[in-house]
Structure 1
Amino acid sequence: MTTAPERHTCSRAGCRSEATTAIEWRNPRIHTGDRVKTWLACDEHVEVLRDFLAARAFPLRLRPLGAPADPVP
């Protein structure tokens, strides 16, 4: 018996597209260095979500889904 590959959906409100990128971020005012949140983005919304977080000066890192995670600065 084979299982279907896991499908990840974009985190942008209302989007149902398949995510291709993980955006790992944290809010340094309320999160310690070991607390990292992850949003998933499709190709169309990766820049919108990244810009939203960058405008708030949150440390973030983009990585393709499936790539190993490194610590967020």
Structure 2
Amino acid sequence: MTESVFEDEPICSAKGCTAPAEWALRWNNPRIHTEERRKTWLACDAHRAQLSDFLSARGFLREVEPFSPA
């Protein structure tokens, strides 16, 4: 049996987007998460503003950082 070995490249969190992730949008919902808790959405350059605006409009966006896979 042959094994196919490949690394999944992290992609943008926008619905239907398969572009590589360039940005990490760190957020939390203050009504259900502690202040220090962070969730992460990944964004490509094309969707960074759209996803940031969505989170900001709800008061969830905490920081946006360049994404680098571990």
Q: Is the TM value for this pair above 0.5?
A: yes
Deviations 1:6-51 (A, max 9, x none): 6210000100000100000000011012321000000000000000
Q: Which has the larger radius of gyration?
A: 2
User: What is the root-mean-square deviation in Å for CA atoms of aligned residues?
Assistant: 1.8
Give aligned-pair identity as a percent.
Answer: 47
SS state at 2:54 partner: helix
SS state at 2:24 partner: strand
> Aligned runs of 1:1-73 on 2, under 5 Å?
7-66=9-68
Q: Distance in 2 between matches of 1:7 and 1:57?
A: 29
Q: TM-score, normalised by structure 2?
A: 0.81
Q: TM-score, normalised by structure 1?
A: 0.78
The alpha carbon displacement at 1:57 in A equals 1.1
Aligned residues: 65
Q: Name stretches of at least 5 consecutive residues in structure 1 with no aligned partner.
A: 67-73
Q: Distance in 2 between matches of 1:39 and 1:30?
A: 17
SS state at 2:40 partner: strand
